[in-house]
Amino acid sequence: MTENLLPRREFVRLAGLGGLLIPSQLAQAQPSTVDARTQFGSVRGLRVGPVNTFKGVPYGADTGGENRFMPPQEPASWLGFREAFQYGPAAPQSDPASGQQRDGRESEDCLVLNIWTRGIADGAKRPVMFWCHGGGFRSLSGSSPRYDGTNLVLRGDVVVVTINHRLNLMGFTHFGDMGHPAFVDSGTVGMQDVVQALRWVQRNIEEFGGDPDRVMVFGESGGGRKVATLLGMPTAKGLFHAAMIESGATLRLPERDPATELAALVLDELGLSQATLPRIQQIPLDRLMAAYHAVSAREREPGGGTFAPTMDGNVLPHHPFWPVASPVNPEVPVIVGANRTEMTFRGDQAAFSLDDSEMRARVRALVGADHTTEVVDVYRQENPGASPSEIYFLVFSDYRYVMASVTIAERRATLNPGGTYLYYLTWETNQTGRGMLSPHTLDIPFIFDNVRTHPLTQGRDSAISLADKISDTVIGFARTGNPNVGKLPEWKPYDAVNRATMVWNDYSEVVNDPIAKQRRIMQPIVNL
């Protein structure tokens, strides 16, 4: 997933406090500093209106040097007040050959988190909404203004936490089967970072007015995949109490053999062998990132694997939802869902002006020649008047995201009857071309209640109305584990018989199996 920063008009720059940017909705408030204590030292944040914000707070030690590819360690304690005015570093992710860093300042000292809250040590015990950022397991950070928690805090009196953690080669390269016990968990350290941040929340969030017994993990795209992975991690058990998987189409993770093949390609690129693996902790970061980008560029799934958490049988004893839902956290209620045309977000320019023949060729590449005609016929029947491009995007979106979300709901509902909820976002943006219809990432501004300034939703009264319903619903889910707060029709739990699905649009409704014919033909084809 790729995101751009918000237009500058969404934020205003303060004359004092280092010229910090604050959300424009708080521009008239007089800013001041605010202090809070953590187990490692005190932090000084920014208070604007009723909202206290702390950015770049360490929850783990620098992951460079002897900590590289190792499980996360506690940060060093500090004396005095640590300024928490600015976002901290993103995880290394950029190609050194580009000459620029992709997501702001990057560093191996990236285990930092951000907090938005109304209360400091006031005993209020607010629900905590813990956000996992998108970008697959490879890129981006929790420091995007897209994830600013101000409006959630103003709307629902919750505590919002976003985090940065190790990604790509640095967080998910499995050296564990190369004869060096110290590296046994290297294929999962990025997810171990997320668990480390959840532990920090358990120990510290009451100081920020939060309730450690009401933590909801949620995330979109790669963030949704991280949430799905957390549900299968024994070390995360008890650290969160509700979960939301948005467009997070992860049923299974790389296994040890293909992950080891991928790690061997990395060593070859660096001129190392299995015997000399420990030297990787001394190699300059730029060389490591150059090797990562070189290996990634060679083929779509290098070595038969990918830079994602390894299902190693230890830290991750089960695939998230393959062949069934992981049994590790069965009591956690889950919301899962996807958007109707996810793939318009990623579509190449030619995909937006297909003729019938071009559309069929693309569908054939997805589903195979034997199924092309029947798939196209079903999608045309179910979507009368759709252009060839829209048909293609619907098939591609179902293939990549929607069917996986349905399968996650099926398998999770079997594990936790009555505690699984499925949504389908069909609201359409006014944007044309790339991002048209109901694209990937469209759910983010509705959930964060940032629709007034988001490019996909700004200027639309219907977006403001829908965000009012969706945002309150997700806040209610964080508060109680039940999404029914009275602003939408009764959202019934999902089961494989009725398949109750909340369809989010200008007129939202619960529909049993809303894309039944598409589901029946597509699920067997994608072999979920």
Residues β-bridged to residue 41 = 38
- Per-residue pLDDT of 230-260, as tens digits, reads 999 999 999 999 999 999 989 999 999 999 9
- Compute how many other C-beta atoms are within 10 angstroms of the C-beta atom of residue 108: 18
How far apart CA 445 and CA 452 sit, in angstroms, is 9
Q: What is the residue-wise DSSP string for 392-453?
A: HHHHHHIIIIIHHHHHHHHHHHHHSTTSEEEEEE----S--STT-SS-TTTHHHHHHT-TTT
How many Cβ atoms sit within 10 Å of the Cβ of residue 498?
A: 12
Give 104's Cβ-side CA count (13 Å radius). Answer: 17
Lookup result for tokens 């988001």: 454
Structural domains in the chain plus CATH codes: 8-256+308-332 (3.40.50.1820), 335-488+502-526 (3.40.50.1820)
Rounded Cα gap, residues 440 and 425, in angstroms = 10
Decide if 243 contacts 218 (C-beta within 8 A). Answer: yes
- Exposure of 394 by Cβ count < 10 A (0-12 exposed, 13-18 middle, 19+ buried)? buried
From CA 501, how far away is CA 492, in angstroms rounded? 8
Give dist(CA 528, CA 520) in Å, integer.
Answer: 12
Supply the pTM of this predicted model.
0.94
pLDDT tens series, the chain, 528 aa: 444 333 334 555 554 454 455 566 666 677 899 999 999 999 999 999 999 999 999 999 999 999 999 999 999 999 999 999 999 999 999 999 887 766 669 999 999 999 999 999 999 999 999 999 999 999 999 998 889 999 999 999 999 999 999 999 999 999 999 999 999 999 999 999 999 999 999 999 999 999 999 999 999 999 999 999 999 999 999 999 999 999 998 999 999 999 999 999 999 999 999 999 999 999 999 999 999 999 998 865 554 468 999 999 999 999 999 999 999 999 999 999 999 999 999 878 999 999 999 999 999 999 999 999 999 999 999 999 999 999 999 999 999 999 999 999 999 999 999 999 999 999 999 998 889 999 999 999 999 999 999 999 999 999 999 999 999 999 999 999 999 999 999 999 999 999 999 999 999 999 999 999 999 999 999 875
Which segments within 235-331 are labelled E, that is strand?
Answer: 242-246
